[in-house]
Structure 1
Amino acid sequence: MIRILVLCTGNSARSQLAQGYLQHFAGNRAEVYSAGVAPHGVNPLAVQVMAEDGIDIAHHTSNHADEYLDIPFDYVITVCDNAREQCPIYPSNATTIHHSFPDPGHQPGVDALTSFRQVRDQIKYFAQDFIATRLPENDGPAH
C-alpha cells in the first residue's frame, strides 16, 4: 500500500483539500494523510467546497506532522512554502514533492468562498495528475 502525507502550515485548508482529492482518486491504492507544522483545525469552508464537489472531508482532523514520524511514507507532498521550509525529516525513503498553492483564506480582492473554490480546483487537477502518473492501476509499487 502506497502511503502519502500532505503537509501545510495549519492543516486547515490546502492539505485537507489535497488529502480528500488524493484519497478519492487513489481509491484503495493508497492511504493518504495530512498534517501541519502548526495545526489549527479544519476550516469549515474547506469542508463546504469539497462537499460541493461530492467529497466529504467533514471527518478529517487537523494533525501535527510529528504525529506521523513513525509511518514509512512513500511520498511527502508540501503544499505551501512555509511547510516545505519547516518540514520534519521523515525516517524513510519518501519522495518529497513541493507544489505551493495560494492560501485560500488570504487572497487580496477575492472573497473567501470564491478563493476556496479556486484553490480547490487547482488542487483537484494536481491530485488527478499525481495519481495518474505516480500510482499504477495494477496496485503494484509506484516507480
Structure 2
Amino acid sequence: MNISALARRAGISPSGVRWYESAGILPAPVRAGNGYRSYDERDLSRLTLIISLRRLGMSPVEAGRLATQCLESGPTHPLLVATLEQQRRKIAEQRADLELLEHQLVDLERTIEAVDPRGTDRRDPIAVLFVCNGNSARSQLGEALLGHFGGPDFAAMSAGTRPKRVHELAVRVLAEINVDWRNAKAKHIGEFLDRRIDYVITLSNSAREECPTLSGRHNALHWHLDDPSEVGGPQETRLQAFRATRTELTVRLRPFIEIARRAAGRLPAIAGPDPAR
C-alpha cells in the first residue's frame, strides 16, 4: 500500500506518517521500483499500535520503542500489559470521580429546588434534622458538622428510626477536627414530630421510607450514604470508613449551608470598596 492508504487506515494524515519516519519512530519504508514508499500490514500494525500508545499518554519515542518490542515478542510484553493495566486504573478513577461529581450536582439541584425562602422564619435559626436508622453514625456526624460549619445560623438536630448508642468512631473522627461529641445521645424520630423543622435530611434509603410525617411545613432532602458502622475489619479500616463519611457530609453540607443562608437572608454582606476613599 502507498503512504496515503497507510495513513487513511491508521487514521492520521500522510504528513503525520512522514513525521514519525523522520523522527525515527517508524523505520524507513521500503521503496517500490518507481521510488515511492511502499508499506505492508506489519507497518500498519506498528503505526496503529504507536498511535494507540500515544493516546494513552506515552511520548513518541516510548511508544515507538514499546511497539517494536511488542511486534518482536508478542502482545503479552510485560510493559504493554502494565501500561494497559495502569490505564484501566486511571479510567476507573476518572469514572468514580465523574460519578461522585454527578451525585454532588444532583444533590445541589435538589437542594436548590427544596430551599424555599418563605419556609424559614428569619428571626429563628434554620432548623435542620438529620435522620438515619440508628442515629449512631451518619446523622450524628451530620448534626455535628452542620453545627461546626453553620454556626449560630443553624439549629442542627439528628434522630433515628431505630436509635442505638452513638458510635465511638463517630466521636473519634469528630474529635480529629476539634468537635467534642462525647456527650451526644441517640434520639428517636418521634421526639421531633411536633418540632418546627425547616429541613429534614434523610441519610439512608430505609430511613426515608420509615421516617414518619413531621408536622408543619418543611423541605425534604435525601442524601443516601453507606453506613460506616457496618464496615468490618481492623480498627484503621473502620476508622477510614467514618472519615470518608465525614468527608462526604462536609462536601454536601458546604453548598447546602450557603444556599439555606441565602434563602433565609443570612449571608454576610459582601464587602465593597470604601466609599470614603
Q: Same fold (TM over 0.5)?
A: yes
Instruction: Name 1:40's counterpart in structure 2.
Output: 164
TM-score computed with the length of structure 1 as normaliser: 0.91
- Of the three residues 80, 88, 96, the one matched with 2:220 is 96
Q: Give CA-to-partner distance per residue, 1:57-113, whole Å, 9 cap, x none.
A: 222210000011111100000011111010110111110000011110224778211
Matched, 1:131 2:242: no
Length-normalised TM-score, structure 2: 0.48
Show the counterpart of 1:65: 189
Larger radius of gyration, structure 1 or 2?
2
Percentage identity across paired residues of the two chains? 36
Q: Which has the higher helix share?
A: 2
Displacement of 1:139 in angstroms is 3.0
List gaps (5 residues or longer) in structure 2. 1-123, 268-277
Cα distance, 1:43 vs. partner?
A: 0.3
* Residues matched between the structures, number: 140
Q: Is the 8 A contact 2:203 2:222 kept in 1?
A: yes
Query: Which of 29, 46, 65 is 2:153 aligned to?
Result: 29
> Gapped runs of 5+ residues in structure 1?
none
Equivalent position of 2:246 in the other structure: 120
**What is the rounded CA distance, in whole Å, between the counterparts of 1:28 and 1:138 in structure 2?**
14
Per-residue CA shift, 1:7-63, capped at 9, x if unaligned? 000000000000011111221111111000000010010000011012122222100
Aligned 8 A contact 2:167 2:229 in 1? no
RMSD (Å) for aligned C-alpha atoms:
1.7
**8 Å contact 2:199–2:218 — kept in the other structure?**
yes
Q: Secondary structure at the match of 1:133?
A: helix
Of residues 97, 122, 127, the one that matches 1:3 is 127
Q: Distance in 2 between matches of 1:119 and 1:7?
A: 15
1:85 aligned counterpart, secondary structure? helix
Distance 2:140 2:231 in 1: 18
Q: Secondary structure at the match of 1:35?
A: strand
Distance 1:41 1:109, change over 3 A: closer
Q: Which moved more, 1:122-131 or 1:75-84?
A: 122-131
Aligned with 2:229: secondary structure?
coil
In structure 1, the residue matched to 2:142 is 18
